[in-house]
Amino acid sequence: MVFGMPTLIETDTLEECAILCRSLNLDFIELNMNLPQYQLAEIDISHFQDIADRYDISYTIHLDENLNVSDFNPYIAEGYRRTVAETIALAKKLGIPVINMHMSRGIYFTLPDRKVYLFSQYRDRYLKSLTDFRQLCEAEIGMDDITICIENCDGFLPFQKEALSILLESRVFGLTFDIGHNHGCGGADEPYILENERYLCHMHMHDALGGKNHLALGMGELDLEKYCALAEEHNCRIVLETKTVEGLRQSVNWICRRGYTTLYYKGRQRGDKHGSEK
């Protein structure tokens, strides 16, 4: 397993993130493209590469959570597809192996007795847009080792599962398992993830308690050992996805107390270069 950290509000610059990442002996930073400093136009490739080399870290990318490549407005959908295409180009330049992506539920109409999701109502048009998106990503990635991982959020709806079956036909798509989100929707996503665990290659790991999410590991009620075993089985990259520096430190301490003290990056054991373990 390879462990990393999210970009945090408390670490406003990339270098601040990298210093924290290195101090905790983590392997990578997940760049969050919801933040203004990680917009494509703001990213200086040479600076990001210099930071990666200087602090001996790597990156993954979390696409904007508003991303909706199936929007019925063609101008909006095209903007999001272009964002993904340009993000893939960025990933190639920086050697980024994983692009994390939410799958939009789109708009719904509330009727007296139910919600009607427009992607479900106009299913054929929706699924065609995902087929086109898959082909775009395949063409942009080519033979590079980049995987676009779809993250569970609030429980995959039936039309989303249909869309996932289309995307997962391609080698360039995989799954991200967010264990806290799964808890928040009553475990609704876990059966689907386990049924398709051969596609699992990325994990967002944080604890949860009742309706509270993104807690430090050990501060909630999840069976974390079970999920660590699942991640280890599939050689997942794991983002310790807390929202604060202190929560991240607590999560790293939890991982280390459980014996996950040897972290790897670029095939090298951490202790070989840095001379210490946590």
Query: Over 70: is that where the pLDDT of 137 sits?
Result: yes
User: Is residue 162 within a helix (H) or strand (E), and if so which, with residue range?
Assistant: helix 158-167
Q: Which residues of 226-238 are buried (b: 16+ CB within 10 A; e: fewer)?
A: ebbebbeebebbb
Mean of pLDDT values over 58-71: 98
Mean of pLDDT values over 132-144: 98
Give 225-238 pLDDT, tens digit per residue. Answer: 999 999 999 999 99
Q: How many residues does the chain have?
A: 278
Q: In terms of DSSP bridges, do strands 58-62 and 98-102 run parallel, antiparallel, or are they unpaired?
A: parallel
Give 176-219 pLDDT, tens digit per residue. Answer: 999 999 999 999 999 999 999 999 999 999 999 988 889 999 99
Token couple for 186: 């009553």
DSSP structural state of residue 197: G
